[in-house]
Structure 1
């Protein structure tokens, strides 16, 4: 009985230590992810984050949305290398840097160029992919660029969707002197952009193109069914179980009302 009591005590100690690790990682991840603006005139927005199914409840995927001085809205989604505490810290540095740069130079290409220069100068030990958009809610004009990130999904309320591949440069933090080209297009009223990280649309048994088609179809059907952006984000996130990807994932849905 003494031996059993000692074993039980050791097991309980390990359980409590693991619970403390989980609580700490969850608190760190929540502090790194932003709170979306409560009201963006003319736009509806929703985001989801789901941690990796392997290891701590933490990772390097992120999303962000914030108002710019020129009245437009900046939208970001990205994936920092790794899914551990260091990845989360690096993700927070990248996201904070992009916000600070966008306050003075809101063009997405400039923001990614300046962020890349900063990470290269810091000799950052990791890299990050990212897509950034500059959206004018009044006329729906979108300016976008990408740093090695997966394409956008453009879903419509008739159930259709398209995959939009933005002009892109390499991931952030690797190649000095990189310029990120931009593309301009229009987000029509009633349609939505779906921004995802690779864990949503790619896995060991799922090619990227097939995953994008599936996620786009789910988003299009959600809009056709009259569902809002919150339910649309949930439907896209539900597809993660089929990717078999052991990575954290993020989804950002923006609909022009």
Structure 2
């Protein structure tokens, strides 16, 4: 172990560089240790306070050679740099000393005592030609260290460019894969939607052609992701020629509500074809289904229309009222109180009867048409004005036109069904 005292930064740098050269440290490591000790000692030396440097070489815990440099500062306040942020981090001790432990390269150690050889002697500083030689040597070493630092920087920059290129290629590949997955997912959603829509269309009744009546229907699911829903209709002709119409709105969305709506419409069809009175069908439907599924809940509107006379009868189970749009533009909601299937005390409280005149238009619908806004009464007023606007159009265009106008700027999405029935009389 050898210790020397320094009063100038140049002498300290020259000595540290000499030690690094003696132990054959690479130029990059040599630059790091010189800069680290110079920055740490700068405050004290610039203030005229000397520092001490102690150098030792020994073997570390793993048996490899190690150079230890301990920089002694006159005051602890002289350590103003963050030792862990130096080019070569050091360890500050309690007595104000900063220690660096540098692994030595795997080369043969110097035969003589290298530390003693490079630490300055008490003699005066070199002057004249010797000083110039020392300055030239220091400059050459400094240039070598700078070249090593630049080479290291160039290497890091090149590696950085390669990593950026690899990252860009990886991101491009990931993006392409993501696009492919999105496209495939979209195709699967569309195929799934087409399959469900085809299945639902297959479950809906066939078009009904009756002399004296024009019938048209429009259905739209709450979203494309759930193309099936609980809004369903049924129409058929009874043995006496009367047209029976059922509008059902089952609780919920998706396949479960579709199953509920189908169950209700099939039960209603069976009861109607068996000849049960219209006023009893809502209650009897609940009686039939309750023992099998207590979760069934649906609103429904039932209509019997005589195509010969225009006589209309309505039964209601918690469903929005039908809208009758007369040929002269007069509008009237056909209100019938009642409670739906799965509700307490299900059944229609009465039967509403009226007569359609030639070119009268009957609009049957589910609540998704009028309750897309916050106020259902507002929806009913909009329905009247919209139906009046489109009533003169061909019957097959009326339900879709009404739905498109009613469902602009909705607050919440819901399944929607609209049906138009125009009475023309058998000779119309």
Q: TM-score of the superposition, structure 1-length normalised? A: 0.88
**Deviation at 1:13?**
4.3
Matched, 1:143 2:310: no
Greater RCO, CA 8 A, separation 6+: 1
Root-mean-square deviation (CA), in Å? 2.2
**Deviation at 1:174?**
3.2
Rounded Cα–Cα distance in structure 2 between residues aligned with 1:117 and 1:51: 29
Pairs within 5 Å for 1:55-204? 55-166=225-336, 168-175=337-344, 178=347, 180-204=349-373
Q: What SS does structure 1 have at the residue aligned with 2:247?
A: strand
- State the number of aligned residues: 252
Q: Residues 42 and 137 of structure 1 are in contact (CA less than 8 Å); yes or no, is this contact kept in structure 2?
A: yes
Q: What SS does structure 2 have at the residue aligned with 1:130?
A: strand
Q: What SS does structure 2 have at the residue aligned with 1:112?
A: helix
Give unmatched runs, 5+ long, in structure 1: none
Q: Detail structure 1 runs of 4+ shifted over 6 Å in the superposition.
A: none
Rounded Cα–Cα distance in structure 2 between residues aligned with 1:69 and 1:106: 13
**Deviation at 1:134?**
0.8
Q: Residues 282 and 340 of structure 2 are in contact (CA less than 8 Å); yes or no, is this contact kept in structure 1?
A: no
**Deviation at 1:6?**
4.7
Q: Residues 150 and 196 of structure 1 are in contact (CA less than 8 Å); yes or no, is this contact kept in structure 2?
A: yes
Q: Residues 339 and 348 of structure 2 are in contact (CA less than 8 Å); yes or no, is this contact kept in structure 1?
A: no
Of 383, 388, 391 in structure 2, the residue corresponding to residue 215 of structure 1 is: 383
**Deviation at 1:253?**
0.8
Q: Residues 107 and 134 of structure 1 are in contact (CA less than 8 Å); yes or no, is this contact kept in structure 2?
A: no
The 1:235/1:219 distance shift into structure 2, 3 A limit, reads same
Look at both structures and tell me which one has the larger radius of gyration over its CA atoms: 2
Q: What SS does structure 2 have at the residue aligned with 1:47?
A: strand
Deviation by residue 1:133-168 (Cα, 9 ceiling, x = unmatched): 1111111111111000001101022222111212x3
Q: Residues 153 and 212 of structure 1 are in contact (CA less than 8 Å); yes or no, is this contact kept in structure 2?
A: no
Matched, 1:36 2:207: yes
Q: Residues 200 and 243 of structure 1 are in contact (CA less than 8 Å); yes or no, is this contact kept in structure 2?
A: no
Q: What SS does structure 2 have at the residue aligned with 1:65?
A: strand
The 1:44/1:173 distance shift into structure 2, 3 A limit, reads same
Rounded Cα–Cα distance in structure 2 between residues aligned with 1:177 and 1:53: 30
**Deviation at 1:198?**
0.5
2:117 alignment partner in structure 1: none
Rounded Cα–Cα distance in structure 2 between residues aligned with 1:136 and 1:113: 23
Rounded Cα–Cα distance in structure 1 between residues aligned with 2:422 and 2:187: 43
Q: What SS does structure 1 have at the residue aligned with 2:252?
A: coil
Q: Residues 163 and 216 of structure 1 are in contact (CA less than 8 Å); yes or no, is this contact kept in structure 2?
A: no
**Deviation at 1:28?**
2.5
The 1:10/1:228 distance shift into structure 2, 3 A limit, reads closer
Q: TM-score of the superposition, structure 2-length normalised? A: 0.55
Matched, 1:26 2:222: no
1:254 alignment partner in structure 2: 421
Give unmatched runs, 5+ long, in structure 2: 1-168
